[in-house]
Amino acid sequence: MNDPVLNLPELCRQIISSSSKELAPEHRLGPRLVCPEYSKSIPEVKTYPLPTDERIFALCWNIASDSTIYATMCPSPEPFRYHRSFESGTMTQLHTHDYIELAYVVEGAFHQKILGNNIVFQKGELCLVDKNCLHQDYLREEPAVILFLGMSNDMFSEIMDENITTQKIIAFLQSALMKQKDVRQYLYFTPGNTAGHEIEDYFYLLLKELHERNVGYRYICKGILLRIFRILSTEYDFSLSGEQRRTMSWIVFEEVSEYIQRNYAHITIQELADTFHFQEDYFNRLIKNNTGLTYSAYVQQIRLERAEQLLTDTQKSVEEISEIVGYHNKGYFYKIFREKYGTTPSRYRKNS
């Protein structure tokens, strides 16, 4: 596991294939990894498979074109691999978990039936499945790599309790996420316009930590999982109603607007991106949708309104006020002030 140039699909395949311990098809762990349907009426309940101090685990599936599925799970006391053949179209046994599962499509497509709904997840998409949610998987001959993360219930609660973005935003997301999850029992995440490859890099790091189990890996894994959920919260679309989306947009705008008004003299759009964890072009859209102004015009409006207040309420010179509100070029300050108020700053003060 020393090759830094592996990508996530290659890492999944290597973890599965590199183990020298091959489980027999009839091994008792086999149904835990892949369990073909054996009853259409009696769902199986999958319990959390690890000790309480192991609060995250990964199950890797590599589905080959010859209708063979290869699988492994980590962490495990000893690395292993398992495989079995299947007929294309075979379904796994209808089942639930007593823990939270997050499935990520690393490569190919993944077909599931969740609460009676047939869903096809494409590469880069995710599904968060709540405990006690009935679902089953379709096994097809098309090649695919799927990464399942199992989270203990206390771990998931801790992740939701962390401030992974600003307080107002995360409070709304937690509420919306839990409300939707309670109603539907699963959430389908698709990459938004700003989503990049960052989340896959974090899945890579998480899987590597779970497999290698070096000192401190449990703490590192929790931190990585926090980052994954931060990206899901800010760069992925999930099943919010139209009303919830409008509410979310307004909450984010209020938070961003308050931040700009506190830091208007030196604010940059890069600072906003670093603080709120959105891409830079998101702020132009957000501000335009809520004010009709571009980001630059909105910041200029705030600065000029503050300059107007200083002119009428203080005895500071025009030069001082220009510096205070963030304009170090006096000529430019005069120009934009006159465009907005129809007169120079000095005459505005005199008339006021």
Identity of the highest mean pLDDT range in 1-10, 161-170, 180-189, 262-271: 262-271
Say how many C-beta atoms besides its own lie within 10 A of residue 293's C-beta: 14
Q: Which amino acid is at 90?
A: T
Assign 247 to helix, strand or coil.
Answer: helix
Taking residues 276-284, what's their average pLDDT?
80
Q: Is the pLDDT of residue 3 over 70?
A: no
Taking residues 295-300, what's their average pLDDT?
94
The pLDDT value given to residue 321: 94
Number of helices (H), then strands (E), in the chain: 13, 14
The pLDDT value given to residue 182: 60
Alpha-carbon dihedral sign for residues 24, 27, 32, 38: positive
Judged by average pLDDT, the poorest of 63-77, 117-131, 245-259 is 245-259
Q: Is the pLDDT of residue 172 over 80?
A: no
Q: Is the pLDDT of residue 2 over 50?
A: no
Q: Which pLDDT band, with edges at 50, 70 and 90, does 217 fall under?
A: very high
State pTM to two decimals. Answer: 0.68
Q: Kind and range of the H or E element at 95?
A: strand 95-97
**Chain segment 308-329, per-residue pLDDT in tens:** 999 999 999 999 999 999 999 9
The pLDDT value given to residue 176: 63
Q: Is the pLDDT of residue 165 over 90?
A: no
Give the alpha-carbon dihedral of 124, 222, 274, 7, to 10 degrees.
-40
Q: Is the pLDDT of residue 125 over 90?
A: yes
Query: Which residue would you say has higher pLDDT here, 116 or 5?
Result: 116
